[in-house]
Amino acid sequence: MDGKRGSPLFMYRHLIGGRFLISPCRLDVMTPGDMDEALKLHDRVTHGLSPEIFVPTGPDDLERLVGGEGISVGVWSGGKLICMRAVMTDARWVNETLEKMGVPAGEAGRAVYTDHCIVDKEFRGNNVQFLTHYAIEHRVGGRCGAFFTTVSPKNAFSLSNVLGCGFAVIGMKELYGGYMRYIMRKQLDRVMPIWTHGHLVIPVSDVKRQKEAIAEGMAGYKMIRKNRGHMMLYAPMAEHPPRGYWKNMADGK
């Protein structure tokens, strides 16, 4: 990447011995010419990760994501790519992906799919996941109806980041050869409120109860940690409040 491209950022860089310093970085849309750096970052970040946690994007799909079938933004420190977020935008590719996830065809219209967001370990903790999501949302939000993505229930860090970007859990399914994933969506049109008073608190490990809640029209909107582990908060997602909602609030129930 040309050091003169992109928008300037200044982020913490963590070094050995507990040291850190402020490092000048730049954020910009990636091009096919950045493919080598994309591959290097993927190798550094995903080496040794279990597919239960994260499945790396293959070289062929990476080429599509930095080409005309997606949009990818990267953050560079000097000439080194230290963060990449990639979103599928090609309608056929998105629809094929969402079909595998079990998303109804009617919900896939005008959707995009976040394939991955990865960050070099030296630059974690800078909230760069949020910066890159909104950088892409700024570019495509006006012409798409929803963002979709998948996250492993065992990847608490990524799950917290995705929820923090405004996504909600709308499904759970085994994908990528049999590994459980949350199906997550951020709706930009036809938005319905989530009625959080009286929410359910369900352990992330309890797949059965979570699927039951989703089948009842609930969405997972927040993750908390208790002594027993991570919990997902579920509440009804509907245009109108559930029966008795306001009365229960008044009664303090």
pLDDT (tens digit, 9 = 90+) per residue, 207-232? Answer: 999 999 999 999 999 999 988 899 99
Q: Would you place residue 1 in the very low, low, confident or very high pLDDT band (cuts 50, 70, 90)?
A: very low
Look at residues 33, 111, 124, 47 and name the one whose alpha carbon lies nearest to residue 79.
Answer: 33
29-69 per-position pLDDT tens digit: 999 999 999 999 999 999 888 999 999 999 999 999 999 89
**What's 237's DSSP letter?**
B
- Secondary-structure breakdown of the chain: helix, strand, coil percentages, each rounded to the nearest 5: 35, 35, 30
| Gap between the Cα atoms of 9 and 161, Å rounded | 19
Instruction: Return the half-sphere exposure (C-beta side, CA atoms, 13 A cut-off) of residue 240.
Output: 3
Contacting residues for 21 by C-beta, under 8 A, at least 6 apart:
12, 13, 15
Q: Are the beta carbons of 111 and 102 closer than 8 angstroms?
A: no
Would you state the pLDDT for residue 173?
97
Q: Would you place residue 2 in the very low, low, confident or very high pLDDT band (cuts 50, 70, 90)?
A: very low
Would you state the pLDDT for residue 3?
47
